[in-house]
Chains A and B, each alone.
Chain A
Amino acid sequence: MAKLTRDDVLKLASLARISLSDDEVTEFSEELSVILQYVEQLSSVDVSGLKPTNQVTGLTNIMRKDEVKDYGYAPQDLLKNVPQTQDNLLKVKRMIA
Chain B
Amino acid sequence: MSGIFEENSSAASRVWEPITTLAAKVNKGELKAADLVEKSLQLIAEKEDYKAIIAVTAERALERAKAIDEMVAQGKPAGRLAGVPFIAKDNYLVFGAETTAASNILKGFTAPYQATVIEKLEAEGAICVAKANLDAFAHGSSTENSDFFTTKNPYDQTRVAGGSSGGSAASVALDLAPFALGSDTGGSIRLPASFDGVVGYKPTYGLVSRSGVVAMASSTDCMGPLTRTVADAAVVLDVMAGRDELDSTTIERDPAGYVLGDVDLKGKKIGIIKEYMGDGMEPGVRKCIEQAIEALKQAGAEVCEVSLPSISLALAVYYILVPAELSSNLARHDGQRFGYSYPDAKDLAQSYEKSRGLGFGKEAKRRIMIGTYVLSSGYYDAYYKKAQTIRTKLIQEFEAVFQDVELLIGPTAPMVAFKIGENANDPLQMYLADIMTVAANLVGAPAISIPCGLSDGLPVGLQLMAPQKHDRSLLELAKAAEGVLA
Contacts and interface: CB of A to CB of B under 8 A. Distances in A.
Given A42-B317, A73-B112, A12 B373 contact: yes
A97 B249 CA distance: 40
Given A59-B206, A81-B110, A16 B249 contact: no
A83 B355 CA distance: 11
Contact of B386 (A34, A42, A55, A84): A42
A47 interface: yes
B427 A31 contact: yes
Closest CB pairs A-B (n = 3): A19-B357, A56-B444, A52-B388
B205 A57 contact: yes
A4 B372 CA distance: 13
B444 A41 contact: no
Contacts of B219: 54-56
Contact of B320 (A39, A45, A78, A81): A39
Interface stretch (B135-143, B331-339, B405-413, B416-424): B331-339
Interface in B346-369: 347-354, 356-358, 360, 362, 365-366, 368-369
Contacts of A13: 357, 369
A61 to B, nearest CB: 9
Contacts of B376: 12, 15
A92 B336 contact: yes
Given A42-B320, A77-B112, A47 B389 contact: yes
B143 to A, nearest CB: 20
8 contacts: A19-B354, A20-B365, A31-B427, A42-B386, A56-B444, A81-B337, A81-B339, A82-B336
B335 A83 contact: yes
B92 to A, nearest CB: 16
B367 to A, nearest CB: 9
B97 to A, nearest CB: 14
Interface in A47-83: 47, 50-57, 59, 62, 64, 71, 73, 77-78, 80-83
Nearest to A8: B373
Contacts of A90: 336-337
A94 B348 CA distance: 7
Interface in A32-48: 32, 34-36, 38-39, 41-43, 45, 47
B368 A18 contact: yes
B393 A16 contact: no
A9 B369 contact: yes
Chain A interface size, as a band, is: 35 or more
A29 to B, nearest CB: 10
B113 A57 contact: no
A47 B113 contact: no
B356 A17 contact: yes
Which among A42, A53, A73 has the highest number of chain B CB atoms within 10 Å?
A: A53
Contacts of B240: none
Contacts of B365: 18, 20, 24, 28
Nearest to B320: A39
Nearest to B364: A18
Contacts of B360: 18
A55 B249 contact: yes
A35 B392 contact: no
B308 to A, nearest CB: 14
A80 B112 CA distance: 8
Given A18-B356, A24-B362, A53-B388, A78 B112 contact: yes
A49 B189 CA distance: 34
